[in-house]
């Protein structure tokens, strides 16, 4: 029977009838229309995101029910003898093919070059790593909870066990028929939703193309290129070559016969439609070598649909999106994260990527909204995935059939040559991709410019910076500080001029920072002006005693030692103790145990007052070096030369690493060692202190402190993004 007869095209007898566009063509049209719309309207397309989210939700709706029905029904259909006969050989072949996919996923991160990267403070720095209960993740103690919580590994194991138990049940035909009926209903619902794919892809790509920067779009190439190269290396290289070494068939013939289903699966974007072709292709391979008979063809007809529900190579390779995402965000996965990612990822891929990728993003503690980027790239990636799946099913069936019929052979010399040639091809590919990504990623870092250009949230009152000196208006006899402030109409505020992100000079030489913003808020509430007076933490108490300023607002930590010199307000924030170290030394300082393995440590510290006895007990081998500014550590000048680390809050350290991205914040200290930030003042009557405390309480309640925290500490809104380039605005000038 010819290929044309097996897969006839509808309407061939009526050439005058124009062929309608298929879903694949409409999806591509939706993709390009979305990109065009995003480029034309720019940020106006951001409103489409909610429609894209709705489409993604609909896609995920039927996936888990379909997994349950198809796995239980597919395994349950087997009889006991047939199942035992197939299981041993098929499992070994599956393990071999899955191992190839896993090794590929582990190697792909080597194609991603090291990026210069840093970020504002994030609670992920201080939050303990998310712990996963492996028993709960893989053992379905309550299958209904596993279904509700999208715990795909537990659901899959439950379904496999149920399917195996059904094999030995005699009266199972009606139940299997019911499962088939329900599975078909889920399939129909999915098909109805899939019909919305062109519109869903349009909304997602329009939103992405209208809001993403060119730099972000460029970095997406990392995933697209690595996946495409891996697909061709496996589909046209390693898999048919492995078949040629282990079976009687030649590489050329394996490639020649399997390429048709590869191309058709790519063109349609559906591996399901090529299953009949894969069956016929494998039969043809055996017939051409005069190895085909009724038994072989019977085995082939069972193996292809049996292998279909299991994770195929194309689907397993999508795990590389997680490693790509981590690189894309500047937080590459650590080696110890890979076993969990690979293990849980394997079981999650029994479902579709709309379930597995969100699950894996959460598992790796990566932003869930990155799934939107996956949907955009998956329009193309899904075609390569299905094409590779066609080759995978072809080779799985060929290898397993040969194993069952004692046709498998092991040519160790050829296997060695295949391993060497595969390694060479892989190294060349990884090196080429890495070189290209390095080229397009150079000069992409801009966070230093972001923090250097940040402005005050509100410049509320007149303010000037004065030289360090006692107040030009000494206190009158019996006068309080508060009374003098009211008399002068000016409050003198002490600040550290180089204390990111609390108080510092931006690139326009303007004094900015969290506490500078709060100083403006305080002066505005009091109806007065500001005189900012520079200070250093080492002489804060001395300068305050000499009446240089009325209050210090510059990220000052409240300690018992400092309280003996001054009075200070109630805490307005708590900060977390941390160390800042060079990037390449982060593992050395990740825990107290690893730190204390070193006999002698030199750690810089700008504010010695925060060096509590508890910290000295935790770091018994450390020598703390006083610094005039944290900048000495980062630039290796003055007392900052030859230091191992900087002792600082995680919040401040994160801000400094934006300017010096080759350094990293580590948090090895217990979480209960956070320290309060306060506003020191010198007031004997307590009235001024009561005013400040009441003001802090009001600013906490009305959200002012939270807004400043979000902006200066978390960096939300700190990056002053110019409107996204668009044709309607930048070419046609129809809108501003």
Which pLDDT tens digit goes with each residue over 162-205? 888 888 888 888 888 888 788 778 777 877 877 787 888 788 77
Is pLDDT larger for residue 221 or for residue 648?
648
Mean pLDDT of 721-730: 74
Quick one: tokens of 321?
């999106």
Residue 551 has pLDDT above 60, yes or no: yes
Res. 352 pLDDT band, cuts 50 70 90:
low
What is the pLDDT, as a whole number, of residue 342?
A: 86
Q: What is the 3-state secondary structure (H, E, C) of 387-433?
A: HHHHHHHHHHHHHHHHHHCCCCCCCHHHHHHHHHHHHHHHHHHHHHH
Angle subtended by helix axes 353-363 and 152-167, to nearest 10: 130
Residue 12 has pLDDT above 60, yes or no: no
Res. 128 pLDDT band, cuts 50 70 90:
low
| C-alpha–C-alpha distance, residues 560 and 553, integer Å | 18
What is the pLDDT, as a whole number, of residue 706?
A: 95
Average pLDDT along the chain? 83
The percentage of residues in the chain with a pLDDT greater than 90, rounded to a whole number, is 37
Mean pLDDT of 379-395: 86
Res. 14 pLDDT band, cuts 50 70 90:
very low
The percentage of residues in the chain with a pLDDT greater than 70, rounded to a whole number, is 86
Res. 720 pLDDT band, cuts 50 70 90:
low
Mean pLDDT of 276-304: 80
CB 275 within 8 A of CB 393: yes
Mean pLDDT of 509-526: 96
Q: In order of start, what are the domains of the chain with their CATH numbers?
A: 24-445 (1.10.3860), 451-573+678-713 (3.40.190.10), 577-673 (3.40.190.10)
The answer to pTM > 0.75 is: no
What is the pLDDT, as a whole number, of residue 515?
A: 97
Beta-carbon contacts of 56 under 8 Å, excluding residues fewer than 6 positions away, are: 200, 204, 354, 371, 372, 375
Which pLDDT tens digit goes with each residue over 587-646? 889 889 999 988 889 999 998 888 878 888 899 999 999 999 999 999 999 999 999 999
What is the pLDDT, as a whole number, of residue 233?
A: 94
What is the pLDDT, as a whole number, of residue 281?
A: 86
Which pLDDT tens digit goes with each residue over 143-172? 888 777 766 667 777 887 888 888 888 888
What are the two backbone dihedrals, phi and then psi, of residue 495, each rounded to the nearest 5 degrees? -150, 150
Which pLDDT tens digit goes with each residue over 621-632? 999 999 999 999
What is the pLDDT, as a whole number, of residue 13?
A: 43
CB 661 within 8 A of CB 118: yes
What is the pLDDT, as a whole number, of residue 430?
A: 93
Buried b (16+ CB within 10 A) or exposed e, 360-394: bbebbebeeebbbbbbbbbbebbbbbbbbbbbbbb
């Amino acid at each position: 029977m010819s290929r044309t007869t097996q897969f006839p095209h509808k309407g061939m007898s009526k050439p005058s009838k124009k062929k309608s566009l298929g879903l694949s063509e409409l999806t591509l049209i939706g993709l390009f229309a979305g990109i065009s719309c995003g480029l034309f309207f720019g940020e106006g397309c951001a409103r489409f995101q909610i429609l894209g989210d709705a489409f993604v939700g609909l896609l995920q709706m039927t996936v888990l029910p379909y997994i349950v029905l198809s796995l239980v029904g597919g395994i349950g259909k087997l009889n006991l003898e047939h199942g035992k006969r197939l299981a041993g050989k098929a499992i070994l072949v599956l393990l071999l093919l899955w191992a190839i996919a896993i090794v590929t996923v582990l190697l792909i991160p080597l194609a991603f070059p090291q990026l210069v990267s840093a970020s504002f403070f994030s609670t992920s720095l201080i939050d303990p790593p998310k712990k996963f209960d492996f028993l709960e993740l893989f053992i379905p103690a309550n299958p209904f909870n596993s279904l509700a919580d999208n715990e795909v590994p537990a659901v899959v194991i439950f379904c496999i066990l149920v399917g195996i138990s059904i094999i030995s049940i005699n009266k199972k035909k009606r139940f299997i028929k019911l499962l088939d009926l329900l599975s078909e209903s889920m399939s129909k619902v999915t098909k109805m939703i899939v019909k919305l794919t062109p519109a869903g892809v349009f909304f997602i790509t329009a939103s992405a193309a209208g809001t993403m920067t060119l730099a972000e779009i460029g970095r997406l190439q990392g995933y697209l290129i690595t996946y495409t190269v891996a697909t061709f290396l496996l589909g046209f290289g390693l898999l048919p070559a492995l078949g040629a070494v282990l079976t009687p068939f030649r590489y050329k013939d394996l490639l020649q016969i399997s390429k048709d289903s590869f191309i058709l699966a790519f063109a349609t974007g559906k591996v399901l439609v090529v299953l009949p072709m894969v069956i016929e292709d494998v039969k043809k391979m055996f017939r051409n070598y005069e190895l085909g008979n009724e038994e072989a063809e019977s085995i082939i007809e069972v193996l292809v649909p049996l292998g279909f529900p299991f994770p195929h190579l194309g689907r397993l390779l999508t795990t590389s999106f997680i490693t790509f995402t981590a690189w894309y965000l500047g937080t590459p996965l650590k080696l110890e994260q890979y076993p969990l990612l690979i293990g849980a990822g394997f079981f999650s891929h029994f479902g579709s990527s709309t379930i597995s990728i969100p699950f894996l993003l959460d598992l790796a503690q990566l932003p869930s909204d990155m799934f939107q980027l996956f949907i955009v790239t998956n329009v193309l990636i899904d075609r390569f995935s299905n094409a590779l799946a066609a080759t995978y099913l072809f080779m799985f069936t060929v290898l397993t059939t040969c194993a069952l019929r004692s046709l498998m052979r092991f040519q160790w010399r050829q296997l060695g040559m295949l391993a060497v040639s595969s390694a060479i091809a892989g190294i060349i590919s990884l090196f080429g991709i890495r070189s290209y990504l390095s080229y397009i990623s150079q000069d992409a870092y801009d966070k230093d410019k972001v923090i250097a250009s940040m402005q005050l949230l509100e410049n509320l009152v007149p303010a000037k910076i004065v030289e360090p000196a006692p107040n030009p208006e000494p206190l009158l006899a019996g006068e309080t500080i508060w009374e003098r402030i009211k008399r002068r109409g000016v409050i003198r505020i002490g600040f550290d001029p180089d204390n990111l992100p609390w108080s510092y000079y931006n690139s326009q030489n303007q004094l900015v920072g969290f506490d500078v913003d709060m100083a403006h808020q305080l002066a505005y509430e009091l109806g007065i002006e500001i005189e900012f007076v520079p200070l250093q933490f080492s002489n804060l108490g001395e300068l305050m005693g000499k009446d240089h300023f009325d209050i210090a607002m510059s990220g000052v930590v409240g300690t018992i030692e400092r309280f003996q010199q001054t009075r200070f307000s109630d805490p307005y924030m708590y900060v977390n103790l941390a160390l800042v170290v060079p990037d390449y030394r982060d593992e050395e300082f990740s825990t107290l145990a690893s730190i204390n393995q070193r006999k002698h440590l030199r750690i810089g510290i700008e504010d010695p007052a925060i060096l509590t006895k508890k910290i000295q007990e935790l770091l018994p081998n450390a020598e703390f070096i006083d610094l005039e500014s944290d900048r000495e550590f980062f630039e290796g000048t003055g007392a900052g030369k030859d230091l191992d680390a900087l002792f600082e809050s995680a919040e401040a350290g994160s801000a400094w690493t934006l300017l010096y991205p080759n350094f990293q914040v580590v948090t090895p200290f217990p979480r209960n060692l956070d320290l309060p930030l306060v506003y020191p003042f010198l007031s004997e009557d307590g009235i001024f202190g009561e005013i400040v405390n009441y003001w802090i309480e009001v600013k906490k309640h009305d959200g002012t402190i939270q807004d400043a925290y979000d902006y200066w500490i978390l960096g939300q809104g700190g990056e002053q993004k110019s409107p996204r380039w668009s044709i309607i605005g930048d070419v046609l000038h129809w809108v501003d």
